[in-house]
Amino acid sequence: MTRIDDNPAGGRSAVTVRGLVKHYGETKALDGVDLDVREGTVMGVLGPNGAGKTTLVRILSTLITPDSGQATVAGYDVVRQPRQLRRVIGLTGQYASVDEKLPGWENLYLIGRLLDLSRKEARARADELLERFSLTEAARRPAGTYSGGMRRRLDLAASMIGRPAVLYLDEPTTGLDPRTRNEVWDEVKAMVGDGVTVLLTTQYMEEAEQLASELTVVDRGRVIAKGGIEELKARVGGRTLRVRPVDPLQLRPLAGMLDELGITGLASTTVDTETGALLVPILSDEQLTAVVGAVTARGITLSSITTELPSLDEVFLSLTGHRASAPQDAAPARQEVAV
């Protein structure tokens, strides 16, 4: 076995994955995945359902073994040193969860004991984490009676008991309402502030942007792009500016003007007649400011102006170049993206 500690991106590697393959019968859940997560950073793994995200997390948590390839977490090999590896990881997500019949406190105490804390330490740790995740009042109630947000917070608390060096968050906010999702994001950000290394899987570009510093995009078991968030956003055409003039008749002149000035991003503007808005792809804050400036200079009154991140679909389609009807031409990114 050769260990790979040097990360091409610099910094020490907390998670190193090389050529990981996992088949389920005919289905290739993972088809040669490479991944490096540097210590103290948050790596987002973005992909649709069935892309292999959960399979990756399950291999890195030693729940399943890969067919080939290798992976180390904090220097421990997932196949050869599973027990030592389990001691340094925390797992939270759609599958690993808490015991619904047990009260919140008992859930945390149990995991503390299973992680070899003494009774006293386990009790103290359970109290401390309930406090930290604002669950003290619900400590004695069965976890099954918790709301969705409380459940996820208890999940997070449970995964933090062993003070893990590497934390896996497997779609931590799937199925949560926006307010609860923000709550969970805040908790995750606080945990990251403590220096834990995080591997986050998600289906949402927005979540990746909120939490991750680097991104790996996966599709059908393969990595189709990787890099910094900003870099990837630029590759997929950045954000979309949604501009709504008060007078819908001004939509087309406005579009023509912006295209003429050449201050849009990779693609040209699109008129969305249904909502009476103009969609302007932009790459930078400077372009955003320029658009606003141009609109103001023309004396056009706006009812709203918002920026939108590209959806997972859009990210995907631009990265793979499979978009069927293309209002935006995503071709420029295609060559550099091949990994």
Partner 1 sequence: MSTATLSPAAAKADTPIPLRAHLRHTGALIRRNLLWIRQDPESMFDAILFPVVFTLLFVYVFGGSIGKSLGGGQEQYVQYVVPGLLAMMGMNMAQGVGTGFNQDFNSGVMDRFRSLPIGRGSVLFAKIAVELMRMLFATAVLLVVALLVGYDVGSWSGLLGSVALSALFGSALMWVFLTLGVVMKNAQSVQAMGFLVLMPLQFGSSIFAPTQSMPGWLQAFTDYNPLSALADCARGLMEGGPVAHALWVTVIWSVGLTVVMAPVAIHKFRTKS
Nearest approach, Cβ of 85 to partner 1 (angstroms)? 8
Question: In whole angstroms, what is the distance from residue 171 CA to residue 201 CA?
Answer: 5
CB 30 within 8 A of CB 21: yes
Give whichever of 80 and 322 is closer to partner 1, judged by the CB atom: 80
Question: In whole angstroms, what is the distance from residue 119 CA to residue 140 CA?
Answer: 18
Question: In whole angstroms, what is the distance from residue 264 CA to residue 267 CA?
Answer: 7
Binding site for partner 1 (CB under 8 A): 1, 3, 5, 12, 14, 39, 58, 61-65, 74-77, 80-84, 86-89, 91, 94-102, 106, 110-111, 113-116, 132, 142, 158, 160, 162-166, 191, 194-197
Name the one residue in this structure whose structure tokens are 């793979």: 320
Give whichever of 31 and 209 is closer to partner 1, judged by the CB atom: 31
CB 143 within 8 A of CB 151: yes
Give whichever of 70 and 216 is closer to partner 1, judged by the CB atom: 70
Question: In whole angstroms, what is the distance from residue 326 CA to residue 335 CA?
Answer: 18
Nearest approach, Cβ of 253 to partner 1 (angstroms)? 56
DSSP assignment, residue 174? T
Nearest approach, Cβ of 72 to partner 1 (angstroms)? 9
Nearest approach, Cβ of 146 to partner 1 (angstroms)? 14
Nearest approach, Cβ of 21 to partner 1 (angstroms)? 15
Name the one residue in this structure whose structure tokens are 């979309």: 240
Three-state DSSP class for residue 75: coil
Give whichever of 60 and 337 is closer to partner 1, judged by the CB atom: 60
Give whichever of 74 and 223 is closer to partner 1, judged by the CB atom: 74
Question: In whole angstroms, what is the distance from residue 15 CA to residue 107 CA?
Answer: 28
Would you mind telling me the total number of residues written for the chain in this entry? Answer: 339
Give whichever of 84 and 304 is closer to partner 1, judged by the CB atom: 84
Nearest approach, Cβ of 226 to partner 1 (angstroms)? 21
